[in-house]
Amino acid sequence: MNNLFIIFLFLFALFTTSSSVPFEVCGKGPLSVTKFDFIPNPIVAGQDLIVNIEGSTQVEVKQGSTLTLSTYELFLPLHQTFDFCKMSICPIHIGDFNFNITYPIPGAAKMFDGNSVNLTLSNPDKTLLTCIEFTAHFA
């Protein structure tokens, strides 16, 4: 009976813990990210990825802001820039925020499993707002 109870507690703890993705801040900016996670985790190539970001900002994130995704293929750097406001609601006003971004993951993206990914958010005048890095894991 005790073994069954211990197994139940282990499974309960396993499935109720936060699924927050480990990340590091890689630049100083006026936007602070306190939580970064996504579903599905691990990422599934060929499916939409829903990213949740929480934090606070000391400046407004303006219409026309860009999100740049950077990683490597072998030794070659790859960069892709997106109109952030087409992915999220803009402007984001000064203060706390919590928003979701839906991003379609191409089928070929699985080749980046285990790669470090850098996300940089900048205002239209190229002012750095924030930068985070995480490791991408694919199913």
Range of the domain at 98: 20-135
What is the total count of domains within the chain? Answer: 1
Is 5 inside a domain boundary? no
Is 3 inside a domain boundary? no
At residue 28, the pLDDT reads 87
Work out the pLDDT band at 74, boundaries 50, 70, 90: confident
Q: Is the pTM of this model over 0.85?
A: no
Average pLDDT, the chain: 86
Residue 109: CATH number of its domain:
2.60.40.770
Is the pLDDT reported for residue 16 higher than 80? Answer: no
Is 10 inside a domain boundary? no
Is 120 inside a domain boundary? yes
Is 126 inside a domain boundary? yes
Give residue-wise pLDDT tens across range 113-131: 999 999 999 999 999 999 9
What phi, psi does 99 have (nearest 5°)? -140, 165
The string of DSSP letters for 47-113 reads SEEEEEEEEEESS-B-TT-EEEEEEEETTEEEEEEEEHHHHS-SPBPSEEEEEEEEEEPPGGGGGGT
Is 61 inside a domain boundary? yes
The SS3 call for residue 26 is strand
At residue 67, the pLDDT reads 95
Is the pLDDT reported for residue 6 higher than 50? Answer: no
Is 7 inside a domain boundary? no
The string of DSSP letters for 64-78 reads T-EEEEEEEETTEEE
